Amino acid sequence: MVTIKIRENGPYLVDGEFTLVDHNGNEVPITKRALCRCGGSTIKPFCDGTHSKIGFQGANAAVEKADDGSTPSGS
């Protein structure tokens, strides 16, 4: 069984056996179990810690801000 944990304002942490493939179906060597969710990593699809440097906020925070009448980042 694979479990993917969503870190608050951070990457997806994958626990368990899995295969990672690119858009062509080619296997990508798994060098880390943390997958980038912020889009800022220099080693995509893996997390390199950039999310902390850029102040990445997860989707829940963005939705809450939108409900307050403010504009979510990236819009």
Question: Where does this chain bind ligand FES (CB under 6 A)?
Answer: 10-11, 36-38, 40-41, 47-51
Q: How far is the CB of 3 from ligand FES (least distance, A)?
A: 18
Q: How far is the CB of 25 from ligand FES (least distance, A)?
A: 24
d(C-alpha 33, C-alpha 26), whole Å: 18
List of E strands, 1-75: 3-6, 12-15, 34-35
| Nearest CB to ligand FES, comparing residues 40 and 72 | 40
Q: Which residues contact 10 (CB under 8 A, 6 or more apart)?
A: 34, 37, 38, 47, 51, 52, 56, 58
Q: How far is the CB of 52 from ligand FES (least distance, A)?
A: 7
| Nearest CB to ligand FES, comparing residues 50 and 57 | 50
